[in-house]
Structure 1
Amino acid sequence: MLTQSIYQRFMEMLTPFFGIFTSFILFYYRKDFNRSNLYLALFFLCSNLIVLVYFGLHFSKSPFWEGVFFVNFMPLSFVIGPLLFYYVKYAVAENKNITPKDYLHLFPAVVVILYSLPYTTLPFSKKVEIAHHIQAVTQDYDFSISFFSLKKMLFIRPLHLFIYCVLSWGYFKQTTKKRLASVGVLPTHHSMIQKWIYSLIGLQSFIASYCLLDSYADFILNDYQGIINQKNYFRFLGVAFSLQNVILFLFPKILFDTISYPDASLARNRATQLKKGNAVEINQNITTLLDKYMVACPFILPGFNLSKMALDLQVSERILSNYFNTELKISFSEWKNNQRIDYACKLIEEGKATKLTVEGISQNVGFSSRSKFIDAFKERKGVVPSTYIKQFS
């Protein structure tokens, strides 16, 4: 029984750490694409820190962790909604810059920081005493900190998040409608972006609604059992936030490519060109762009793909993919492998790879594994890399 309890605690604690790890994946891939990943990563980081707070308060059974997490992390709850809105805005808006006006969305979080000061400035021993008394003894959250009681703050918190879910959904719908009216077409990956954003907003709306109903039952109706007993209530929230992490992995292009709407003026020009039937002119323009782009050998970067190339060239993925299929008569994936193999051959022929193993060469030209490099090399050159190296030894 004790082993089962320890295992359950371990799994519950593993949940937020998995989410925090996910946020670092988003941070890592942000640098190669655009800044919308920054807001998404911060959103996931704050969400999973909240789960960690739930664990520390309600499952750790430790007065120390109760003192650490009680009220101190309250401002994070008022940051999640604005970060969700920033992510949606940065992903789909025509103007992708955060304006000074946008920082007003963080005003509630600043107010909560000021509200919490009388508690956060207390000696830690006093914090532990107050937190443990409320969490483990009385379960009475009618605790006046400054402006009003903690009970009211816990009621406002999910309401604030729900308002931002509605705001984010409305912004996405309005921006999509405006783009369709001004450009005439939506990006090819619009459907995927819509499913992802709706999934994110839908799950957060569900979490906010559930917390709001429970807070209403607990604090307004004075039914302290709430909808569900407290332990299961926080487990349920932990599962909901964990589901958010899992859903992200069902959208690998969001996780690794940070797909967003391209610049509207560029999309408008491309749409006009396509309507006029200037396919030859478009392909010529891409050829010119490609000649300049290839000087830096971007294809040797591990994260290089069609999305990255389209973003760099400021061309939609659909048009770029069509260029490879119709103009070059080859898929992008085949073109990329050919470029990498030709670059590897150049290194070998110029004697720059004498001190590198086959695996070392594969990494230097952008392949994720030695086996993929060997297969692609043999398909391109008819021999394996080691045989080719011997010819130039």
Structure 2
Amino acid sequence: MYPILLYNIFVIGGLFCGFITFLLLFFKGNNLFQNRLLSIVVFACAWYALQHTLTVTGWLADLPHFWRMGSPLYYLVPPCYFFYTRATLLGENAFRKRDWLHFIPAAVHFLELMPFYLKSTAEKRQIVLYFMEDFNRSYVLGSGYIPALWHYAVRPFFGLAYLLFLLWPILIRYRRRSHPQQVVTAGKYAWLVAFASFMTVMYSGLAVQTVFALQHLDVPNAAVTESRAPLYVMSLTFLGMVCYLLFYQEIFYVQESLSPASPAEENEAATEACVNEEQPAVKEKRIGKELLVIYAATIDTFMLQHKPFMRQGITVSELALEMGMQPRTLSGVLNQHYQQRFSDFINAYRIAHIKSCLETGKWKEFTLEGLAYQCGFTSRSTFFAAFKKDTGLSPTEYIKKIGKSAPAAN
């Protein structure tokens, strides 16, 4: 009796907190793109808890339209938690061109359920009453063109595939970079890891529960009565996730305002190289004036066509190798023709690219700091210092000058 009562507390608590969290995420905060992706995940999990509550209480018979209504949501969850993580790490504010492909399974499932959605209330109630006599029937009771058993078998492993092959790899790759906190704070990165862990536990529990239920279809109600442990784990995990969100709202709903770098950040930027790592000393080669002009034209063409400056941590040796040039020759051209250090030369191209994006509106897919990160900068302070050195203005002042509205800062 006690475990059942505890389980009901987990489910009802997750249901209540989940819908509150969904509303906060969907309507609050400057960066609504990221928040709304996360809100879909929370809403789908809360809907699952609602569906379970209506089923075990028998209320589903009075609300037959709720049966299968949220089923397509379960195919939306894996793409949404991956896009949410990617957008948070990279400062994105919009979908990429081919992201819609990830939503095809949800769309297909919705369309193949249309025959059930179009049934009358009486027909739906009859189906629900038949299902409630034995919960195992939900695994074999067809509602659309595709057998329900296929969906139950595919969905947990569909979610685990996104976690193992997309979400966790992008988190690990981001962590291995030189300065992993330049777009997200340490606290927010910790949340993303916790979020990935929550989803891994939930989908692992769902997979175990599904496998157990499919192996015991001949035992009435085994899907609920004989496999409680995975259900306990999933309900407790979801409750923990939404409570985390509710108690740490400042991390998720309150965005930092776009402000100039602080004096401390400017001092930090002044003492660090404007690329990811220190550049090894390269002996400079003296070059004649005519040859210098030819080399400079070659370098400019290469920089504009291949955009190597957008790669973080690029060194003078790496760039010289890509151009088929000796490092000391490249260093000589930079010093004699451009009269710049390598770091200043690279940052000048980065700033020029960012200014072009700001003037043409291409930055709208990213936050300002996300755009700087995409262009090769490795910290907020370095970006602000380099931008002000090039333009004499902070990014905010420059945006106001060109008459554009500033993008949301992360």
Superposed, 1:156-167 pairs within 5 Å as: 156-166=154-164, 167=166
Q: What's the counterpart of residue 125 of structure 2?
A: 128
Kindly provide the amino acid, as one letter, of the partner of residue 110 in structure 2.
Answer: I
Kindly provide the amino acid, as one letter, of the partner of residue 208 in structure 2.
Answer: L
Select the residue among 83, 102, 112 that pairs with 1:105: 102
Residues 116-147 of structure 1: per-residue CA shift (max 9 Å, x gap): 22322221211111122112346323223444
8 Å CA contact 1:155, 1:215 repeated in 2: yes
Superposed, 1:1-393 pairs within 5 Å as: 12-13=11-12, 15-30=14-29, 32-33=30-31, 35-65=33-63, 67-93=64-90, 96-137=93-134, 139-140=136-137, 141-166=139-164, 167-177=166-176, 180=177, 186-187=181-182, 189-220=184-215, 222=217, 224=219, 225=222, 229=226, 234=231, 236-258=233-255, 262-265=369-372, 268-269=376-377, 274=382, 285-286=393-394, 289=397
Cα gap change, 1:263/1:68 in structure 2, threshold over 3 Å: closer, same or farther?
Answer: same
Measured in 2, the distance between the counterparts of 1:287 and 1:204 equals 37
8 Å CA contact 1:34, 1:258 repeated in 2: no
Residues 351-384 of structure 1: per-residue CA shift (max 9 Å, x gap): xxxxxxxxxxxxxxxxxxxxxxxxxxxxxxxxxx
Measured in 2, the distance between the counterparts of 1:175 and 1:7 equals 39
Cα gap change, 1:223/1:172 in structure 2, threshold over 3 Å: closer, same or farther?
Answer: farther
Measured in 2, the distance between the counterparts of 1:12 and 1:121 equals 30
Measured in 2, the distance between the counterparts of 1:139 and 1:124 equals 22
Q: What's the counterpart of residue 321 of structure 1?
A: none
Measured in 1, the distance between the counterparts of 2:183 and 2:203 equals 32
> Alignment partner of 2:53: what SS?
helix
* Count of aligned positions: 291
Measured in 2, the distance between the counterparts of 1:39 and 1:288 equals 27
Kindly provide the amino acid, as one letter, of the partner of residue 114 in structure 2.
Answer: L
Q: CA RMSD in A?
A: 4.2
Residues 222-281 of structure 1: per-residue CA shift (max 9 Å, x gap): 474359636676555333322210121353332322578922426845759849998995
8 Å CA contact 1:93, 1:175 repeated in 2: no
Kindly provide the amino acid, as one letter, of the partner of residue 289 in structure 1.
Answer: E
Measured in 1, the distance between the counterparts of 2:18 and 2:384 equals 48
Kindly provide the amino acid, as one letter, of the partner of residue 55 in structure 1.
Answer: T
Q: TM-score, normalised by structure 2?
A: 0.58
Measured in 2, the distance between the counterparts of 1:279 and 1:9 equals 56
Instruction: Give % identity.
Output: 13
8 Å CA contact 1:19, 1:45 repeated in 2: yes
Measured in 2, the distance between the counterparts of 1:290 and 1:143 equals 61
Residues 89-110 of structure 1: per-residue CA shift (max 9 Å, x gap): 2112265531231011111111
> Alignment partner of 2:140: what SS?
coil
8 Å CA contact 2:26, 2:35 repeated in 1: yes
Measured in 1, the distance between the counterparts of 2:129 and 2:382 equals 67
Higher relative contact order, structure no. (Cα contacts within 8 Å, ≥ 6 residues apart): 2
Kindly provide the amino acid, as one letter, of the partner of residue 237 in structure 2.
Answer: A
Kindly provide the amino acid, as one letter, of the partner of residue 76 in structure 1.
Answer: L
Residues 6-49 of structure 1: per-residue CA shift (max 9 Å, x gap): 9997885453232111122123323x345212212232222212
Q: Which runs of 5+ in 2 are unaligned?
A: 257-366
